[in-house]
Amino acid sequence: MRHRFLCLSVLALACLACGASAAEDLTSLEQVADAVERASPEMKSTLLANGVSVAAKDGGWRIGSCGDAFDVYAKASAEVRDTLIAEAFDSCTQMCPGGSGRNDAFEAAAKAPRATKTALIVSACDEAGLDPVFGGEWKDQRNQMGLMDYWVQRAMFATVFDRLDGIGGAKSEALRARYEGLRDSVAAQLVLANPPMDARLAESTAERRVLPAPVVRVTTKDVLVDNTSVGGQGFQAALRSALTHRQSETPAEERDRVLLQVDNDVPYSRLATVMGVADQAGSKRMELAVLNPRGQRFIALSMPPLGAPVGGDRDRPLDLTIEISDTGFQIRSTDRGRDAEIPCLVMGCPDAAAYDAKELTRYVGALKDAHPDDMQVIVLPQDAIHHGVVVKALDATREDVTYKVDGRTRVLFPDAILARVQ
């Protein structure tokens, strides 16, 4: 069904681009961006490759010298993309978008172990010239992307950026900013799809293998433990069983720990269900893996015991609670004079960008001034709130990156409890 949806999307994009002149390319690229922004995270890179390729052909502009290779990429499954690099040799005269590159590097990469393929191409292309797409904040994350994914997405975005810069004007600049945001979304997904191999997994199979803490990946349609699906709907029993089994393969000091990777469009109710099951399986230490251009970091989380009241605890000096709704942030605490409502910047709070994180940080910073020893915050999202908004609230209350204390970022309320409206 997914492939059928993709084909329909591509046909729609083809129609949008039909007959486009150079001046009309802005409209075609804007409509491609609309389609990619609406797509699920795992479909963005493929849909972008299809859309830009069609727009380029019908608009009369080329994607480097490797157009045929992109058609192959868009139609192939993720499992075989890395091996398709050889298909590009016949049609490509310039292997690195934005630079000359060396075909011998690609030939070597095609034969290299999967873990080193992308690193060989990144190194060769960096020698040819600056990476115009992922060479900035994503520079240190590139080796973790799949070979064909890195190569094709770099070519696609480089072509779009060049085209928009060539057209110029305010509309082009605004659209370029949208594509830079899409670049970051695609890059994060490509890195998450290829997690680095833990050194402990390479130990000799002659001995019983000891695994690190399990990684639970949560999407809108599936839940996976160490990249193995435990089911989309009704996953609770299978997830509990998988986590319980993994505890027997995990070192004692890691046995109650679980790492959570959650797509930004996952509703909070789904994450809360996963956390509740993990807690029942004995995983009391939960860490949320958050990926940004500076790398992957972890936010320690906890949930209150089932049935326990949340907030209103007079034994704690502040009892800070941040409620998240479809109107914005609501700040509640025992310091009643400082309670506040922070509305979204855009009516209806359509996405994470609409939530005013800067103002939230300013408010909780004032609370920190009055309660310097309090470290805990309760974050209470409504069930339908997307995970990206939850992370934004956690970041905004954890530290103030604009305020330095002795040269270090000011810490606000780093001990986060994720609760659920009963």
Per-residue confidence (pLDDT) for residue 18, from 0 to 100: 38
Per-residue confidence (pLDDT) for residue 1, from 0 to 100: 33
Tens-digit pLDDT profile for residues 91-132: 454 556 544 444 566 666 666 666 677 777 788 777 777 788
User: Which residue is listed with tokens 């191409």?
Assistant: 121
Q: 116-139: buried (b, 16+ CB within 10 Å) or exposed (e) per residue? A: ebbebbbebbeebeebebbbeebe
User: What is the distance between the alpha carbons of residues 294 and 141, in angstroms, rounded to a whole number?
Assistant: 8
Answer yes or no: is pLDDT of 186 > 80: yes
What percent of the chain has a predicted confidence (pLDDT) above 90?
Answer: 19
Phi, psi of 380 (to 5 degrees): -125, 80
Give me the mean pLDDT over the 379-383 stretch.
Answer: 93
> Which of 121-125, 213-217, 333-337, 339-343 is predicted most confidently?
339-343
Per-residue confidence (pLDDT) for residue 80, from 0 to 100: 56
Tens-digit pLDDT profile for residues 272-327: 999 989 988 888 888 887 765 545 566 777 665 544 445 555 455 788 999 999 99
Per-residue confidence (pLDDT) for residue 343, from 0 to 100: 96
* Residue in 414, 341, 369 with CA at minimum distance from that of residue 332: 341
Answer yes or no: is pLDDT of 165 > 60: yes
Give me the mean pLDDT over the 246-262 stretch.
Answer: 81
User: Which residue is listed with tokens 């310097």?
Assistant: 372
Per-residue confidence (pLDDT) for residue 67, from 0 to 100: 54
Beta bridge partners of 285: 257
Per-residue confidence (pLDDT) for residue 331, from 0 to 100: 95
pLDDT tier at 403, thresholds 50, 70, 90: confident
